[in-house]
Structure 1
Amino acid sequence: MFRPLELFIGLRYSRAKRRNQFISFISTVSIICITISVMALITVMSVMNGFDNELRSRILGAVSHATIAGVGESIHDWQGTVKQAEANPHVRGAAPYVDLQAFLQGTYGSTGTMVRGIEPSLEPKASDIDKHMVQGRWDSLTPGSWNIILGKELAMQLGVTVGDHVTMFVPQFRATPLGAVPRIRGFRVSGVFEMGMQQYDSGLALVNMTDAEKLGELSGPTGIRLRLDDLWNAGPVSRELSRDLGQLYSVRTWMQENSNFFSAISMEKKVMGIILSLIVLVAVINLISMLMMLVTDKQADIAILRTLGATPRSIMATFMVQGVLVGFVGIGLGVGLGSLLSWQLPNIVDWIQNVFHVQFLSPDVYYISNVPSKLEAVDVGWISLVTFLFSLLATLYPAWRASRTQPAQALRYE
Structure 2
Amino acid sequence: MVNRASLFLALRYLRPKRSFVSVITTISILGVAVGVLMMVVVRAVMLGFEVDFRDTLMGAEPHVLVAKDTAAQNAPPWQEALKLARAQPGVVSAAPYAGGILYLAREDYQTAAPALGLSQTEGASNLAKLTPHILDGSLDLPEGTVVISDHHAHQLGVRVGDEITVYASQNVNLAVRQFNAVNEEDSEEKKKALRAQIKLHPQALRISGVLRGETAGPTAYVSLQTGQQLFQLGLEVSGIAIEIHEPQQAKDFASGLGSRLPGYKFTLWTDAGESRLAAMQNEQTMMQFVLSIIALVAAFSVMNTTITVTTQKRREIGVLAALGSQPRQIVSVFLLQAVVVGVVGTGIGLAGSLLVLWLRNDIREIMTLLTGGQVHAVEGVFLSTIPAYIQPWDVALTCLISIALCILAGLIPAWFAARMDPAEALRD
Taking structure 1 as the reference length, the TM-score comes to 0.86
CA shift, 1:223, in A, is 2.3
Partner of 1:29: 27
Selected match of 2:160 from 155, 159, 162: 162
Tell me, yes or no, if the aligned pair for 1:41 and 1:383 is still in contact at 8 Å: yes
CA shift, 1:353, in A, is 6.1
CA distance in 1, matches of 2:273, 2:326: 60
2:251 counterpart of 1:240:
no
Tell me, yes or no, if the aligned pair for 1:149 and 1:193 is still in contact at 8 Å: yes
Tell me, yes or no, if the aligned pair for 1:94 and 1:122 is still in contact at 8 Å: yes
Matched AA of 2:248: W
Partner of 2:182: none
Matched AA of 2:242: L
CA shift, 1:305, in A, is 2.5
Unaligned residue ranges in structure 1 (runs of 5+): none
Count of residue correspondences: 403
- Stretch moving more, 186-195 or 375-384: 375-384
Provide, for residues 257-304 of structure 1, a one-character-per-residue CA deviation record: whole Å limited to 9, x for no partner: 432111111111121122133222222222222111110122222223
Matched AA of 2:207: V
Partner of 1:134: 135
**Cα–Cα, structure 1 residues 82 and 125, in superposed 2: closer, same or farther, change >3 Å?**
farther
Tell me, yes or no, if the aligned pair for 2:148 and 2:220 is still in contact at 8 Å: yes
CA shift, 1:50, in A, is 2.0
SS of equivalent residue, structure 1 residue 186: strand
Partner of 1:405: 420
2:232 counterpart of 1:182:
no
- Stretch moving more, 320-329 or 125-134: 125-134
Q: Please, what is the CA RMSD of the aligned residues?
A: 3.1
CA distance in 2, matches of 1:386, 1:57: 30
Matched AA of 2:258: S
- Stretch moving more, 107-116 or 175-184: 175-184
Unaligned residue ranges in structure 2 (runs of 5+): 179-193
Report matched runs for 1:359-378 at 5 Å: 359=374, 362-363=377-378, 367-378=382-393
Percent same amino acid at aligned positions? 27
Matched AA of 1:342: L
Partner of 1:38: 36
CA shift, 1:256, in A, is 4.3
CA shift, 1:167, in A, is 1.2
**Cα–Cα, structure 1 residues 328 and 334, in superposed 2: closer, same or farther, change >3 Å?**
same
Tell me, yes or no, if the aligned pair for 2:6 and 2:332 is still in contact at 8 Å: no
Tell me, yes or no, if the aligned pair for 2:30 and 2:345 is still in contact at 8 Å: yes
Tell me, yes or no, if the aligned pair for 1:343 and 1:375 is still in contact at 8 Å: no
CA distance in 2, matches of 1:196, 1:188: 22
CA distance in 2, matches of 1:146, 1:373: 42
Taking structure 2 as the reference length, the TM-score comes to 0.84
CA distance in 2, matches of 1:226, 1:309: 76
Provide, for residues 350-396 of structure 1, a one-character-per-residue CA deviation record: whole Å limited to 9, x for no partner: 57768998435842998422222222224313322332232123113
Provide, for residues 163-222 of structure 1, a one-character-per-residue CA deviation record: whole Å limited to 9, x for no partner: 11111122322666435343322211111122533x71xx32111222222222225222
SS of equivalent residue, structure 1 residue 196: helix
Partner of 2:351: 336
Tell me, yes or no, if the aligned pair for 1:342 and 1:375 is still in contact at 8 Å: no
Partner of 2:82: 82
Partner of 1:9: 6
CA distance in 2, matches of 1:11, 1:83: 74
Tell me, yes or no, if the aligned pair for 1:76 and 1:220 is still in contact at 8 Å: no
Partner of 2:328: 313
Partner of 1:64: 62
Matched AA of 1:95: A
CA shift, 1:134, in A, is 2.2
**Cα–Cα, structure 1 residues 170 and 45, in superposed 2: closer, same or farther, change >3 Å?**
same
CA distance in 1, matches of 2:9, 2:20: 18
